Amino acid sequence: MTEAAPSPQPQVERRVLSVLVDNAPGVLMRVVALFRRRGINIHSLAVSVTEDPGVSRITMTVECPAALAESVVKQVRRVVEVRRVRDVTDAPRTERELALVKVNAPGGVRSEILEAAQVFRARPVDLTEKTVTLEVTGSPEKIDAFLSLVARHGVREVARTGAVVLLRGSAAT
Amino acid sequence: MRTTLVETKKASRTLSGAQAVVRVLEEAGVEWVFGHPGGASLPLYDALYDAPTIRHVLCRHEQVAAHAATGYARASGRFGVCTATSGPGATNLVTGLADAMMDSAAVLAITGQVVRANIGTDAFQEADVTSITMPVTKHNALVMDPKDLVRTLREAIYLCRSGRPGPVLVDVPRDVLQTQIPEDLLDEPFEPRRRPVTKGHPARIAEAAEAISTSRRPILYVGGGAQGAAEPLARLARRCRIPVTVTLMGKGAFDETDPLCLGMLGMHGTAYANYAINAADLVVAVGARFDDRVTGRLRDFCPHARFVHIDIDPSEIGKNKPAHIPIVGDAREVLEALEPLVTPPDTEAWWKQIEEWRARYPLRWRPGPLLKPQQVIEAIYRATRGEAVVTTDVGQHQMWAAQYYLCRRPRTFISSGGLGAMGFGFPAAMGAQFARPDALVVAIVGDGGFQMTMQDLITAVEWKLPLKVYVINNASLGMVRQWQELFYNRRYSEVHLRNPDFARIAEAFGAVGIRVEREEQLEPALQHSLEVSDRPVVVDVIVDPEENCYPMIPSGQSVKEMILGD
């Protein structure tokens, strides 16, 4: 079957999506399945209930061409339990992520790590003879920067929440 | 006081979940349910036993039940209902649901599920049906709380037929069907979570009207979404003399015998429809979704055109081709608003060009020593005076039926378009016959596809359905054979079928069976088939196994690569 030669791949970019859904079983799967179907990798995913206990917010970051994201967003809108979808990538927004970072911290370097942590306003939340666990909050870029800073000490484990986003000002996300 | 309260509570009436299901179906006007019972749906069948107005058609395979519900829905414009038990019953529905999803058929599926306590334990006949069917349904739901049952079913019925129709599945555990629930739940009013936008945006409609009025080479590209918009569509096309091309799903939305109609477009569409749309300066898509079988290579499709895209489903707009003028709304409402605003464009030169193509590249076939499949379809068309409700299976015969059986009215051509599910044609004809008992219903099927669902001939016999099954028998999986001939060096791999004697099989089921091997047998056999009114007829027509379906735009190519055939 003579298929057409593939056209040049459009630019892959990070898209940030905010989805309001009914707080009910299976809804996340419906939303996520639409991205899986197109082979889009979900880079981060944060889901929790909102100010209304009947409504949850899914914040996801995906990596794909903008047009593809738009096409999937329209399909997400068809899901019955989905109340609102916004691609907020290009909107003025507040974006935060929280990470727990467990770093090797033997006596000799511990103070150096804690000093670096201060610059990033990372808080130590657990301390052992060999490790320190730091809680750092900020934009995903800031967390990336912090991780690369402490990398040389040996990062044992990282748990990141994924980005959460609200639009700036009085606009509803 | 305390005692009174308890007594009041006792006095409030209850009914079982299964009885509630039946009540909801009754109030929605359901007359026919296509299904097959099993352990998990026993309570539902017990309730159906007492239902005076709902009749159940016992299909021998759940795929047939789903396709029959689809055929019923598409022939009638109402919604079709099918039901199956848990596990294997429900998994057998999947093909039918996927077909209904792709072709936007309003189907309600009710499946039994194992009792709630056993869900997730790999219980007997358990399958995670809502997960399995999620991508092939418009919506689905597992009812875990008996109090939600009525609302969930009403929402399912609303959803399957509102906006862009589609299949909705409700999975009900057996113990939910058995639980007593307060009858008051049936009195609660139902309000949908949201309603689709049906009225097009006036500014967009005005823009579209302007674009049509000033176009020189306009064309209407009509899909299945226009089946309910035939009148305003005909007014627009006729008053403004705009050529119309229909998709497989759009057949019947515009009268194909009207000279304004160029027939079907796409991979096996008429050459002139494909030439016309690709030369157009304005394509008005009505309820069509730019499927790859229509467009071929996307970037070469209609290179000179601007697109007006009318669709009720916003996610279709811009999905495959960017729309210059998108209009989200119901095709009928939009066209009714649009039509009066259009000034007829000057299409004289355009028509001259189109007529030239039409004269030069007509659909054609050459007679030979063996019956030609196209000749058979033409004979069926003549014998039925073009008045039949036609269903088809999938493959070469489907494309020939689309090319040679011209449809004049909406909802008279029912085929598995998007999914391309072999085995669809005959069950869909059953459903169509239940929907339209007085209509002449004809299933044009291939010998390959018919064997996928022909066990249900017994169901058609049981209900004395007078439908006709015309088997275009080329003793092969013809479309696959054609592709192997053209693109795989004639290496015919697993495409030749050793067939049973379909006429004798029909007779064994209690239907009428006729075998046609020569041209002179064809007309009398068709006439005979039309005279039978109390049972199905199977006419097995042996045709030239080497015949190919043309014109053909090979997959992923453009009109420039169209093969016209000899």
Nearest C-alpha of chain A: how many angstroms from B314? 7
Q: Is the pLDDT of residue B273 over 60?
A: yes
- Please give the Cα distance from B255 to B263 (Å, whole number): 9
B-chain residue closest to A76, CA distance: B315
Which residue in B138, B315, B556 is closest to A2 by CB distance?
Answer: B556
* Residue among B389, B461, B391 nearest B422 (CA): B391
Nearest C-alpha of chain A: how many angstroms from B254? 29
Which residue in B142, B319, B483 is closest to A71 by CB distance?
Answer: B319
- Please give the Cα distance from B535 to A123 (Å, whole number): 81
> What are the tens digits of pLDDT across the range B454-474?
999 999 999 999 999 999 999
Nearest C-alpha of chain A: how many angstroms from B486? 9
- Please give the Cα distance from B66 to B107 (Å, whole number): 8
**Residues of chain B neighbouring A3 (CB-CB closer than 8 A):** 555-556
Backbone angles phi, psi at B493, to 5 degrees: -105, 110
- Please give the Cα distance from B94 to B101 (Å, whole number): 10
Q: Which two tokens stand for residue B114?
A: 């194992």
> What are the tens digits of pLDDT across the range A56-102?
999 999 999 999 999 999 999 999 999 999 999 999 999 999 999 99
**Residues of chain A neighbouring B313 (CB-CB closer than 8 A):** 78
**Residues of chain B neighbouring A30 (CB-CB closer than 8 A):** 134
Please tell me the predicted confidence (pLDDT) of residue B9: 54
Residue indicated by tokens 């739940």: B185
Q: Note whether A29 contacts B: Cβ–Cβ < 8 A.
A: yes
Amino acid at B318: G
CB-CB contact of B476 with B495 (8 Å) = yes
Please tell me the predicted confidence (pLDDT) of residue A1: 44
Please tell me the predicted confidence (pLDDT) of residue B565: 86
Looking at chain B, the whole-number percentage of residues with pLDDT higher than 70 is: 98
With H, G, I as helix, E, B as strand and everything else as coil, classify residue B436: coil
User: B395: alpha, beta or left, given left = phi > 0 and alpha = psi -120 to 50?
Assistant: left
Question: pLDDT-derived band of residue B120, with 50, 70 and 90 as boundaries?
Answer: very high
CB-CB contact of A34 with A72 (8 Å) = yes
Q: Note whether A80 contacts B: Cβ–Cβ < 8 A.
A: yes
Please, what sign has the CA dihedral across residues B142, B145, B149, B153? negative
B-chain residue closest to A79, CA distance: B139
CA dist list (Å): B45 to B19, B54, B155: 10, 11, 22
A-chain residue closest to B160, CA distance: A80
B-chain residue closest to A84, CA distance: B194
Residue indicated by tokens 């009885």: B19
Please tell me the predicted confidence (pLDDT) of residue A8: 64
Cα B248–Cα B254–Cα B255 angle in degrees, nearest 5: 105
Which residue in A37, A78, A80 is closest to B193 by CB distance?
Answer: A80
With H, G, I as helix, E, B as strand and everything else as coil, classify residue A29: helix
- Please give the Cα distance from B173 to B171 (Å, whole number): 7
> What are the tens digits of pLDDT across the range B503-562?
999 999 999 999 999 999 999 999 999 999 999 999 999 999 999 999 999 999 999 999
Q: Is the pLDDT of residue A4 over 90?
A: no
Which residue in B135, B297, B556 is closest to A37 by CB distance?
Answer: B135
Q: Note whether A71 contacts B: Cβ–Cβ < 8 A.
A: yes
Contact B315 A71 (CB under 8 A): yes
CA B518 to the chain's CA centroid: 32
Which residue in A4, A30, A71 is closest to B556 by CB distance?
Answer: A4
> What are the tens digits of pLDDT across the range B468-508?
999 999 999 999 999 999 999 999 999 999 999 999 999 99
* Residue among B272, B267, B273 nearest B361 (CA): B272
Q: What element of type H or E holds B515?
A: strand B512-516
CB pairs under 8 A between A and B: 45
Q: Which two tokens stand for residue B416?
A: 């598995």
Which residue in A1, A71, A80 is closest to B139 by CB distance?
Answer: A80
CB-CB contact of B427 with B63 (8 Å) = yes
Q: Note whether A128 contacts B: Cβ–Cβ < 8 A.
A: no
Contact A1 B554 (CB under 8 A): yes
- Please give the Cα distance from B518 to B280 (Å, whole number): 44
Please tell me the predicted confidence (pLDDT) of residue B25: 98
> What are the tens digits of pLDDT across the range B310-352?
999 999 999 999 999 999 999 999 999 999 999 999 999 999 9
Nearest C-alpha of chain B: how many angstroms from A110? 48
CB-CB contact of B179 with B20 (8 Å) = no
Backbone angles phi, psi at B393, to 5 degrees: -90, -145
Contact B134 A29 (CB under 8 A): yes
Contact B135 A71 (CB under 8 A): no
Q: Note whether A119 contacts B: Cβ–Cβ < 8 A.
A: no
Contact B131 A29 (CB under 8 A): yes
Residues in a beta bridge with A160? A99
Q: Which residues, at least 6 apart from B79, have a Cβ–Cβ distance to it below 8 Å?
A: B28, B73, B106, B107, B108, B157, B160, B161, B165
Q: Is the pLDDT of residue A2 over 50?
A: no
Contact B557 A4 (CB under 8 A): yes
Interhelix angle B271-279/B348-360, rounded to 10 degrees, is 150
Q: Which two tokens stand for residue B66?
A: 């789903």
Q: Is the pLDDT of residue A3 over 60?
A: no
> What are the tens digits of pLDDT across the range B125-149?
999 999 999 999 999 999 999 999 9
Which residue in A7, A29, A37 is closest to B299 by CB distance?
Answer: A7
Looking at chain A, the whole-number percentage of residues with pLDDT higher than 90 is: 92
* Residue among B437, B405, B402 nearest B72 (CA): B437
Amino acid at B530: L
Q: In the predicted model, what is the mean pLDDT of residues B424-432? A: 98
**Residues of chain A neighbouring B483 (CB-CB closer than 8 A):** 1
Please tell me the predicted confidence (pLDDT) of residue B12: 80
Which residue in A2, A33, A77 is closest to B134 by CB distance?
Answer: A33
**Residues of chain A neighbouring B554 (CB-CB closer than 8 A):** 1-2
* Residue among B199, B137, B184, B129 nearest B165 (CA): B137
How are the residues of chain B apportioned to helix, strand and coil, as percentages rounded to the nearest 5? 45, 15, 40
The chain-wide mean pLDDT, for chain B, equals: 96
Q: In the predicted model, what is the mean pLDDT of residues B103-119? A: 98
**Residues of chain B neighbouring A74 (CB-CB closer than 8 A):** 314-315, 317, 319
Please tell me the predicted confidence (pLDDT) of residue B10: 52
> What are the tens digits of pLDDT across the range B1-16?
444 444 455 558 999 9
Q: Note whether A38 contacts B: Cβ–Cβ < 8 A.
A: no
Please tell me the predicted confidence (pLDDT) of residue B467: 98
Backbone angles phi, psi at A138, to 5 degrees: 160, -165
- Please give the Cα distance from A136 to A155 (Å, whole number): 14
- Please give the Cα distance from B542 to B369 (Å, whole number): 12
> What are the tens digits of pLDDT across the range A31-49?
999 999 999 999 999 999 9
CB-CB contact of B287 with B222 (8 Å) = yes
CB atoms within 10 A of CB B557: 18
With H, G, I as helix, E, B as strand and everything else as coil, classify residue A44: strand
B-chain residue closest to A24, CA distance: B141
Chain B residues in contact with chain A using a Cβ-Cβ cutoff of 8 Å: 130-131, 134-135, 138-139, 142, 155, 159, 193, 297, 299, 313-315, 317-319, 483, 487, 554-557
DSSP single-letter state for residue B28:
T
Question: pLDDT-derived band of residue A51, with 50, 70 and 90 as boundaries?
Answer: very high
> What are the tens digits of pLDDT across the range B33-87?
999 999 999 999 999 999 999 999 999 999 999 999 999 999 999 999 999 999 9
- Please give the Cα distance from A61 to A17 (Å, whole number): 6
- Please give the Cα distance from B533 to B370 (Å, whole number): 30
Please tell me the predicted confidence (pLDDT) of residue A9: 73
Please tell me the predicted confidence (pLDDT) of residue B117: 98
Q: In the predicted model, what is the mean pLDDT of residues B237-252? A: 98
**Residues of chain A neighbouring B297 (CB-CB closer than 8 A):** 4
- Please give the Cα distance from A4 to B297 (Å, whole number): 7
Over the Cα atoms of chain A, what is R_g? 20
B-chain residue closest to A34, CA distance: B135
- A56: burial class by Cβ within 10 Å (0-12, 13-18, 19+)? buried
With H, G, I as helix, E, B as strand and everything else as coil, classify residue A58: strand
Amino acid at B363: L
- Residue by residue, what is the 3-state secondary structure of B211-260? HHHCCCCEEEEECHHHCCCHHHHHHHHHHHCCCEEECCCCCCCCCCCCCC
- Please give the Cα distance from A120 to A122 (Å, whole number): 5
Residue of A30, A35, A73, A78 for testing the chain B interface, max B β-carbons within 10 Å: A78
CB-CB contact of B298 with B315 (8 Å) = no
Q: First and final CA of chain A: distance in angstroms?
A: 46
The length of chain B in residues reads 566
B-chain residue closest to A80, CA distance: B139
Which residue in A2, A70, A74 is closest to B557 by CB distance?
Answer: A2
> What are the tens digits of pLDDT across the range A108-165?
999 999 999 999 999 999 999 999 999 999 999 999 999 999 999 999 999 999 999 9
